[in-house]
Chains A and B, each alone.
Chain A
């Protein structure tokens, strides 16, 4: 509880609240069958209607409620963010730990492999895969995960390289701790701060990549809703119905921003000296 208070500064609490609300809506709203994202309000068709009491976020050009579509879009975005972040974090941490702990030749080989992966332009790879295979959101998640772990592994490696030299590691070794315990219990928690921050940023990035793909028409396929394709759809109506672009745009921004704030909050929570960020 004492540690929790370090987390609860206003910025990260608001971010957390926003994120939890978004997650809850994304989980539970689709369970209500009457709220269909593809339902067309026949009284509102042909011209997009601005936000009103019946449609809080307004409707799009086909008369579909933008609030419900946004919530369905959040589902896609959060899922992409969480799954691809988990993939990249697991690979990145493991690779970084191995590289940093064993050092020498193993480190050199692993780091060259990382360089190789870094040279792959992620977006084009995803585009190619989406064109070759049929566009699928699961491909997107996996490809983002498999191509974004290098940053994490470099962070972890750098952190481990410096922790390895610190006296408490020799002290722990002198007490007879086995190597696995040394790596996972004594070294990993020290590199946790950059890992968590990287995870939050990575999640934001993944959400952005998914939006870009959907915007290009290679992500989530209409009529399914995602923030990216809602945004794409709004382009032709930008002048007459600016809310159609503003709503998914704002949601993307807020989500990425709140992920960064949560990362900050966790960082100050995990710091045993309790500095507020």
Chain B
């Protein structure tokens, strides 16, 4: 349904060109949850912003193609793009409190969004808004429509954000770290809500997270990103049972085991993420890689199919 080919997104930072996303390709088929994992700064959010073309002013898609149901998203006019944003592709954000406009009631924002994409009278829109709130489990939806975002808890705000993004029944929902700012019990609520909505509305989800647990539980397909490149992709089975790329292996080893009887400390990846302003040559992971070959410093491996759905970008395979 969504086909991303060789997408590169660059930022202008003090006359430097910083490549945040470099030549990535992936597909999101219908009714699937695709997970995108990686450390902070690996380009996950930039990827999602590139899809909807809502990059900050200094960001720009340099090359690549974005195909949405056969349409080239980058060739669309501003108006056509507005028709797709929100209506066919919805998006929820990391910090729900700041993603809602603080000066309007949530009813106002919901009704605005509903009227934008559907032909309804404001009165009907209000009814739809209330039913959306009910769908995301906000108690007493009729009266709460008149409340401002600051009158809700952060978990509720995220549910309102979800209500806003599913208002026009999009076929794809981009969830950019939807649980990053929530505590664990609320995380579970939000994720199960997303899961329910996914089957109810028959939509696909691009779930962006740095939480491997969340990804493992909810995704049909996983993409691992490191410094703007997809280094490995595969089913949860592939990624978690037989990770191929040393980075993925290290990521999985770094998950702490929540058992006081096991005294083994999680293994950390040595070194820091290099600055995207000054990327390493060849494979971007080589300065930190435990299994570095001499080739790794010179040439960048491409993402090759290793087995069925399992792909990795590494010279070891």
In the complex, chain A residues 146-175 whose Cβ is within 8 Å of any chain B Cβ: 164-168, 170-175
B227 contacts the other chain (Cβ, under 8 Å)?
no
Enumerate A183-242 residues with CB–CB distance to B below 8 Å: 185-186, 189-190
Given the known inter-chain contacts A175-B116, A176-B116, A273-B150, please indicate yes or no for A170 contacting B82, CB distance below 8 A.
Answer: no
CB distance from A58 to the nearest CB of B (A): 49
Taking A176-B86, A176-B87 as contacts, is the C-beta distance between A170 and B102 under 8 angstroms?
no
User: Is B138's CB within 8 Å of the partner chain A?
Assistant: no
A167 near B85 with CB under 8 A, answer: no
C-alpha gap A166/B104 in the complex (Å)? 15
User: Interface size for chain B: under 10, 10 to 19, 20 to 34, or 35 or more residues?
Assistant: 35 or more
Residue in chain B with minimal CB distance to A170: B54
Assuming the A-B contacts A166-B98, A189-B103, A272-B150, are A171 and B91 also in contact, with contact meaning beta carbons closer than 8 angstroms in the complex? yes
CB-CB under 8 A from A190, the residues of chain B are 103
Q: Give B54-73 as 1s and 0s: 1 = Cβ < 8 Å from A's Cβ atoms.
A: 10110000000000000000
* Chain B residues in 8 Å Cβ range of A103: 57
Contact: B116 with A177, CB < 8 Å? yes
Number of A-B contacts (CB under 8 A): 71
Partner of B86, one of A166, A170, A175, A273: A175
| Minimum Cβ distance to chain A for residue B223 (Å) | 21
Q: Per-residue 0/1 for B226-255: is the Cβ within 8 Å of any A Cβ (1 yes, 0 no)?
A: 000000000000000000000000000000
> Chain A interface: which size bin?
20 to 34
Within 8 Å by CB of B117, from A104, A173, A176, lies: A176
Residues from chain B with a CB closer than 8 A to the CB of A177 are: 82, 86, 112, 116
| Given A167-B93, A171-B91, A179-B78, A272-B102 contact (CB < 8 Å) | yes
Q: How far is the CB of B91 from chain A (nearest CB, A)?
A: 4
- A189 partner residues in chain B, CB cutoff 8 A: 103-104
Query: Could you tell me the distance in whole angstroms from the C-beta of B45 to the nearest C-beta in chain A?
Result: 10
Q: Give the residues from 110 to 146 in chain B that come closer than 8 angstroms, CB to CB, to chain A.
A: 112-113, 116-117
- The answer to whether the Cβ of A178 comes within 8 Å of any Cβ in the partner chain is yes
A167 touching B165, Cβ below 8 Å = no
B101 touching A176 by the CB < 8 A rule? no
Q: Which residues of A contact B78 (CB under 8 A)?
A: 179
23 contacts between A and B (CB under 8 A): A167-B93, A167-B95, A168-B98, A168-B100, A168-B101, A168-B102, A170-B93, A171-B99, A171-B100, A171-B161, A173-B52, A174-B85, A174-B165, A175-B85, A175-B113, A176-B86, A176-B116, A178-B79, A178-B82, A179-B78, A186-B101, A272-B102, A272-B150
* Interface residues in chain B, defined as those with a beta carbon under 8 Å from any beta carbon in chain A: 49, 52, 54, 56-57, 78-79, 81-87, 90-91, 93-95, 98-104, 112-113, 116-117, 148, 150, 161, 164-165, 167
